[in-house]
Amino acid sequence: MANFILQFGLKKKTKKLYYALVVTAFLIVGGVGLAPVLANSDIHWGGESNTQSISESIDKLSQNIRDKKRSITDLNGNLDQAKNDLSKAQSILGMQQGNVQDLTNQVEALKTALANKQTELNNKVNELTKQKQDEINQKILEINQKIAEGNQKVAEKQKEVDAKQREFDAKQNELSAANQQLNKIQADYNDQTTKLSDANKTIADYDARLRKVQDEVSDLKAKADKAVADANQ
């Protein structure tokens, strides 16, 4: 840009202001701003600068512009890379969010299935509990009925036992009376036996005495017969 400007009219000092304004306009359009241009251009506005000074200032400004553009290009490249990284990160984040949402949906579905299974289990437990309770109540009813029947049979058997006990008591009373009578008869028998034994003893004494008397009579008779016989001789 500096060579182009010099070729077309840096012949008069009156054009220095024009060139400076043109450069300033380029710099303003290029985004550099008026203050940096005025600060770095080394342009003197009093007409005392020569063409070489203006050319050096323009070259310096051109280099600054190129450096700025290079920086902007680098920044744009970095920005594009950052945008690409951000886009990739957003894509990965979207995928992860989708995965999270899928997992969340799966968890919610599992929760719903679990709740349904829990409800089904509770209903089944209630059904089984009611069924078991009905069975238990039926068993209790049957057991109570068996107990009532058993109590009735026991009562009937008790009546029979009581009747048998009464019969036994009657027989026992009869036996006791018979034993008493037997004892009385036995006592009478013993008494009679004693009396008979005493009588037999008395008879034996009488018999012994009788035999003795008979012997004595026989002896006396023998003696008498002998005496008579002796007298008759």
Neighbours of 43 (CB within 10 A): 19
- What share of the chain has pLDDT > 90, as a percent? 19
Kindly list the domain boundaries of the chain, sorted by start residue: 2-98
* Residue 50, pLDDT score: 64
Highest average pLDDT, of 94-103, 118-127, 142-151, 213-222, comes from: 142-151
pLDDT at residue 59 greater than cutoff 50: yes
For the ranges 40-54, 66-80, 194-208, the lowest mean pLDDT is seen at 40-54
pLDDT band at 48 (very low <50, low <70, confident <90, very high): very low
Q: What is the rounded CA–CA span in Å between residue 165 and residue 161?
A: 6
Most confident of 88-97, 119-128, 142-151: 142-151
Identify the pLDDT of residue 32: 41
Q: What is the structure's pLDDT at 58? A: 80
Q: Please compute the mean of the pLDDT values over residues 95-117 and round it to a whole number.
A: 86
Q: Tell me, what's the pLDDT at 43?
A: 44
pLDDT at 90 over 70: yes
3-state SS assignment for residue 155: helix
Share of the chain above pLDDT 70, in %: 78
Residue of 64, 59, 49 whose CA lies nearest to 17: 49
What is the distance, to the nearest Å, from the Cα of residue 48 to the centroid of all Cα atoms in its chain?
Answer: 103
pLDDT-based confidence at 77, cuts 50/70/90? Answer: confident
What whole-number distance in Å separates Cα of residue 40 and Cα of residue 48?
A: 17
Whether 210 has a pLDDT exceeding 90, the answer reads: no
